[in-house]
Structure formats: C-alpha cells, structure tokens
Structure 1
Amino acid sequence: MRENKILSSLCYFSIFFAPFLFPVIVYFLGQGEVKYHAKKSLWTHVIPYLIFGIGILGSGLLGMNDISHAGPFLLATYAVTFLVAIYFFIWNIVKGIKVFSE
C-alpha cells in the first residue's frame, strides 16, 4: 500500500526529473489508483505544451507568418502558457504532497 502512494506521488513530482517518461511508464505498468494518478499527472504535464502549440498554430492560421504582425497574439500566447505552466507546476507539487500524506 505504501509503495502505491510513493509511485502515485512520484508521478506528480516527476515534473522535476522526467515529466513525460515516468508517468507513461507508471501508467502502463501500474494498476488502480496508481494508474489514475499517472494519467492525471501526465495530463497536467502536457497541458501547457498543448496551449503553446495551439497558440502558435493559431498565429500561423491567422496569417501572422511575419513576427512584426504577430506581436500581440504571440505575446498573449506566451503569457497564457507561462501562467498555466506555473499553475500546473505548483499544482503538481501540492498534489504530490497531498497524495503522499494520505
């Protein structure tokens, strides 16, 4: 039972050492609650990159292929991505501590 808490907690703390690899490995090898936490932590690691990709694609699709035309949109994309990344970074730390202490 204690190993399950450690693995679940490490999935969230993997933001420091292997943000994608560790939760994927635990997801495929784990069971039950460990698998749930691995999937949840993987999504919280991926979401900032998805937001950044959507923002960059959005600027390309809107015809902003020159940096001088895309300034405000790219700046907003960077700002939103940064805020979401900081939020999920802190959230992963808090969730890792919470899962470990349950």
Structure 2
Amino acid sequence: MKAEKLLSSLCYFSIFFAPFLFPIIIYVLTYGIVRHHAGKSLWIHLVPYLSFFIGIGVLVLNGGNQMSSLIIICIFTVIGVYYLILNFVRGIKVLIVN
C-alpha cells in the first residue's frame, strides 16, 4: 500500500520534473488506484498548456490590443499557478490520507 501511495503522489509531483512522461509511463505500467491517479494527474498537467494555447489563439484573433492582451495573459497566468498549487496539494493529500 505504501508503494501505491508513493507512486500516486509522484504522479502529481511530476509537474516539477517530468510533467507528461512520468504519468504516462505509470498509467501504462500500473493498474487500480495508481492508474487512476496517473490519469487524473496527466489531465491536470495538460490543462495549463491547453489554456495557454487557447490564450495565444485569442491573442492572435484579438489583433494585439494591449489592454485585452494584458488581461488574457493575467488570466492564463492565474490558471497556471492554480494548477501548479493543485498538483502540489493533491500530491500531499495522496501521501497523507488513507
């Protein structure tokens, strides 16, 4: 049970060292609750990047207005920081709970 907790937690903490590679490897090689956490962490790792590309698309379509560009950049920075903190909290939660 301890190894399952550690691997599940490492999937969330992998945002700091291998955001996509580690959860994908764990997802393919494991089963059960570890696989569930690996898939969940992979999606949480993807959201900031998806929002970044959506933000870039909006900036391109916007035409470069300075005020709206600043607002868009601030919104997507907040999204990125939120998901970074979310990964950290979920990694600790998996280690401590149960």
Fold equivalence (TM over 0.5)? yes
Which residue of 1 is the match for residue 80 of structure 2? 85
Which residue of 1 is the match for residue 28 of structure 2? 28
Q: Does the 8 A contact of 1:55 with 1:74 survive in 2?
A: no
- Runs of 4+ in structure 1 displaced over 6 angstroms? none
Q: Does the 8 A contact of 1:26 with 1:38 survive in 2?
A: yes
Residue identity over aligned pairs, in percent, reads: 49
Quick check: which one's helix share is greater? 2
Residue identity opposite 1:31 in structure 2: Y
CA RMSD of aligned residues (A): 1.3
Residue identity opposite 1:35 in structure 2: R
Residue identity opposite 2:67 in structure 1: P
TM-score using structure 1 length = 0.85
Q: Spell out, residue by residue over 1:50-92, the C-alpha distance to the aligned partner (whole angstroms, 9 max, x if none).
A: 1110111123234x1xxxx332332222111111111111111
Distance 1:16 1:93 in 2: 9
Q: CA deviation at 1:7?
A: 0.4
Q: Where in structure 2 are there 5+ consecutive unaligned residues?
A: none
Q: Where in structure 1 are there 5+ consecutive unaligned residues?
A: none
